[in-house]
Amino acid sequence: MNTLRNKVQLIGNLGNDPEIITLDSGKKLAKFNIATNESYKNAAGEKITETQWHQIVAWNKTAEIIEKYVQKGKEIMIEGKLTTRSYENKEGEKKYITEVVCNEMLMLGGK
């Protein structure tokens, strides 16, 4: 490995319709969550499925495609990078959020 990269690939289903924001500059932003599932058998032989939720943001052309074609429940594959940012809430507390900034998206499943 010549260089290490910040790269994330996820396949999952949207938990809600994407939130589309058009900024004053005209740029579009899509925000949504996807769920990924992992299954395994526990010591008793029972199948256990764990769901993880991932916050995704997409900009510009990718956001426009998401706005037109992606809705709650759709299965998609995304590729992007992990980012962490901080903000202050109304009470003045510092909060941190980790998101995947999507730079490529592939629609899976039917239609």
**Domain map (residue ranges) of the chain:** 8-107
**Which DSSP state fits 64?**
H
- Average pLDDT estimate for 32-56: 94
**pLDDT at residue 14 greater than cutoff 90:** yes
| Domain over 8-107 is classified CATH 3.40.1280.10 | no
Tokens of 71: 């809705």
Q: Is the pLDDT of residue 108 over 80?
A: yes
The Cα–Cα gap between 17 and 33 comes to: 9
* pLDDT at residue 3 in the model: 64
16: DSSP letter: S
Quick one: tokens of 51? 């769901």
Tokens representing 81 are 């990078």
